[in-house]
Every structure is written in C-alpha cells, then in structure tokens.
Amino acid sequence: MTRLRMALATLLAAASTFALAAPATAQVPPIPRIDVPGQATAIYGVRNTLPPLSAPTTYAAGPGMAAQIQAFRASGAYQREQRVVAFYASRFQAQWIRRHCPGAKGHAADRCPDGRRPAAVFDIDDTLVSWYALYASTGFTYTTAIAEQAIDGCATPRIAPVVQFYRDTISRGVTPFLITGRNDSDRAATESCLARLGIRGYHELVMRTNAQESLTATAYKSAARNDIEAAGYRIITSIGDQVSDSAGGYTRRGYLLPNPMYFIP
C-alpha cells in the first residue's frame, strides 16, 4: 500500500513537472541539426531560402525575391525563427555550464575543467543588429550606401532575442567575443554603435585586417576562434546568420539564425 502510494506520488510529481514544462516546450518548436556537406561542426538552426549552404560564392537575394522576403518578415516568421534559435543557443549554453562547471554561480570561469574559461562567440551583422530595413530599401541588393548607413550611421536596430542571449551569456560568467567580417578600419564606428545600442561588456571585438580580406568568412572566423581557444578559452556556442559563422570547428556548437537576404561562404 505504501509502495503503491509512493509510486502514485512519483507519477503525479512527474506529471506535474511535465505539465509545467509542456507549455513552454510547445511554444518553442525544435530546431534541426543543419546538414552542411563537408562540415563536421554541429550547427543547429533554421533553414532559409538561400542556395545550398555549401555554396562557394556570395549571393544576394535581389529584387526578384523582395516580395517573398517582405512576406516572411511581415508574417512574423523571421522574428519567430530568431527567437527560437536564440532560445536554444542559450539553453544549450546553460546546460553545458551546469554539466561541465558544477557549482559555478556567476563566475563559471574559475570552476571549469582544465582551468579553461567558457566563452561564446557572436557575429554582429544580422545577428546582434539587423540590416533588414536597409536591404529592403534597395530591393535586397548590397550597396556601399547602405553599408555606410549601417556602419557609420548605426542605422541597425538590435535583434532583441540575440541581445538577450548575449546578456544571459555575461550573467552566467561566460566570456563573450564578437567576431565580425567588418574591416578593422571600421573599429571606432562599430564600437561606438554597439555602445549606443547597449551592447557592452564583450571581451574582444575581432575584425578583419586588410591581409585577411581575401579569406572566406569560414577561414577567417574559424581561425579567430582557434586563437581564442589557444588563449585558454573553451567556446561553447557560436551564433550567426551564416553557416560560415560557425563552420570549421573551435566551438562546441554553432547556432544558425535565418537570413533570407544574402549568403556569405
């Protein structure tokens, strides 16, 4: 009788846990692992309407795709996918810290194995800040004028769920790094824009030098992550709107945000 009552109590406890967990899970659809040919890094995220994710050249959607991209945005699906990917990136990071840095509270860095400090990498453009309105103004075509408005004019609103994930990262004691394809000559403008948008507290802003301009984003960004890990960090998550933000290793996981506007190998 006692045993039966205990079993029933266990069952009810499990059921109530499930009842609490179920609505949250139901609101956040799962995201798949993205299969990128030739790519070993585990990248999770959403598929979008671009060419194959292993395409070797850059691509811009252009005016022919404008109606579909604007509909994607107007439906709320674009923003929803950003929320979902940021949610899973943050959850994975939190779970990793709990599993590998037990007892860590706010200062996970001191408690992690091998004395390595946990880190997270964030891309900037169409990850922390949005170029959508600028691209929409040109029929989804890249121009130097919109680049100037974005970089010098800081005409790029925050992407709120990713900025929230960035803040969660800091509050967990995980060190944030920014790795951007922007050239180092744009450092002052980029730093002042990030400050204006309230994106502060990053450990380092990694930018392309002139010598790195000919590298693919995959080669440049994976080498930058290698440097970070060689300096004693362990990168748990890398998040960006391109596969090239996470491809090539040196991160436990990559998280891919939607970007129906352009593709960077």
Residues that bind Mg ion (CB under 5 A): 123, 125-126, 241
Sheet containing strand 204-208, strands side by side: 43-45, 253-256, 233-240, 117-122, 175-183, 204-208
Residue whose CB is less far from Mg ion, 81 or 241: 241
Quote the least distance from Cβ 72 to Mg ion, whole Å: 17
Quote the least distance from Cβ 126 to Mg ion, whole Å: 4
C-alpha span between 221 and 215 (Å, rounded): 9
- Helix-strand-coil percent breakdown of the chain, rounded to 5? 50, 15, 35
Residue whose CB is less far from Mg ion, 81 or 123: 123
Output the residue with the shortest Cβ distance to Mg ion: 125
Quote the least distance from Cβ 124 to Mg ion, whole Å: 7
Residue whose CB is less far from Mg ion, 118 or 181: 181
Residue whose CB is less far from Mg ion, 116 or 183: 183
Quote the least distance from Cβ 26 to Mg ion, whole Å: 30
Three-state secondary structure of 38-99: CCCCCEEECCCCCCCCCCCCCEECCHHHHHHHHHHHHCCHHHHHHHHHHHHHHHHHHHHHHH
Quote the least distance from Cβ 123 to Mg ion, whole Å: 4
Residue whose CB is less far from Mg ion, 81 or 125: 125
Q: What is the CA radius of gyration of the chain?
A: 20
Which neighbouring-strand residues pair with 253? Answer: 237
